[in-house]
Amino acid sequence: MSEATSNTPHQLLGLYDSPFVRRVAITMTLYGVPFEHLSLSVFRQMDAMRPINPLFKVPMLTLPDGEKLYESAYLLDYLDELAADRGLAPLTPRSGPQRRQVLQATALAIVATEKSVAIEYERKRPPELQWPEWSSRLRGQLRQAFSMLEQRLAGIARSGGSFLVGDRLTQADISTAVGIGFVRYVQPDEWPAGEYPALEALAARLEASAAFQAVPIDQ
């Protein structure tokens, strides 16, 4: 991949209270990719958002050459390729069994995160239009995804490991911690205290790290 020669930095659009925006920002921070953060809400600042991103889809990453990318998974793939070109180890391996393991664990984290987002949207509907059975189904999927991640991480911890895949930080860990942070921030009642001790330890460790501290969820 050839990088643009312009001095214009990457520009990341979206609020950090979006777990999808936040995981991209943390990844860029870890890779040392300078970026401008354009903090606009797709709901509260639609007039300002419209000329920049009429799709109203975040995160949106504008590359130095002006190309715009959507969908956090695609943005992360671009950043991994950029990291590899710079001689860094991508947070998602480019091939092999560990790539599949990281992608699968990341997928579980995204399942949990997406179900949490759906629960939050359902709660915003008028009470008479809410569907309790649907919320219950979403909650079951959320907890099942976290339970599967907890089982995996707890097994690794018993062998002395501290990450979801291999012996280093990967996108699986970042996306999981960001998802947990979102649930705790928006829906603390959906995170039963003490039910996922291994995941809680992982999230606490990562949230205390410099990269996570640089991208606070409340901005």
What digits encode the pLDDT tens for the residues 33-66? 999 999 887 778 778 878 887 778 899 999 999 9
Which residues lie across from 35 on neighbouring strands? 10
Instruction: Answer yes or no: is pLDDT of 78 > 60.
Output: yes
Tokens standing for 62? 């504008």
CA-closest candidate to residue 89, choices 101, 104, 79: 79
Q: Chain-wide mean pLDDT for the chain?
A: 93
User: What percent of the chain clears pLDDT 90, i.e. is strictly above it?
Assistant: 84
CB 146 within 8 A of CB 112: yes
Give the pLDDT mean for 95-107.
97
pLDDT tens digits, residue range 142-155? Answer: 999 999 999 999 99
pLDDT tens-digit readout, 9-40: 999 999 999 999 999 999 999 999 999 999 88
Alpha-carbon span 90 to 27, nearest angstrom: 10
CATH number of 10-85: 3.40.30.10
Q: What one-character-per-residue DSSP string does 1-41 give? A: -PPP-SSPPEEEES-TTSHHHHHHHHHHHHHT--EEEE---
Q: What pLDDT sits at residue 1?
A: 42
Query: Candidates 1.20.150.20, 3.40.50.1000, 1.20.1050.10, 1.10.150.20; correct CATH number of 97-209?
Result: 1.20.1050.10
CB atoms within 10 A of CB 195: 12
Instruction: Answer yes or no: is pLDDT of 186 > 60.
Output: yes
**CA 210 centroid distance within chain:** 16
**Are 16 and 96 contacting, i.e. CB atoms less than 8 angstroms apart?**
no
Side-chain half-sphere CA neighbours of 205 within 13 A: 12
Listed in order, the ranges of the chain carrying CATH 3.40.30.10 are 10-85
User: Whole-prediction pTM value?
Assistant: 0.93
CATH 1.20.1050.10 in the chain: give the residue spans.
97-209
Which amino acid belongs to residue 88?
A: L
Check residue 7 and give its pLDDT: 67
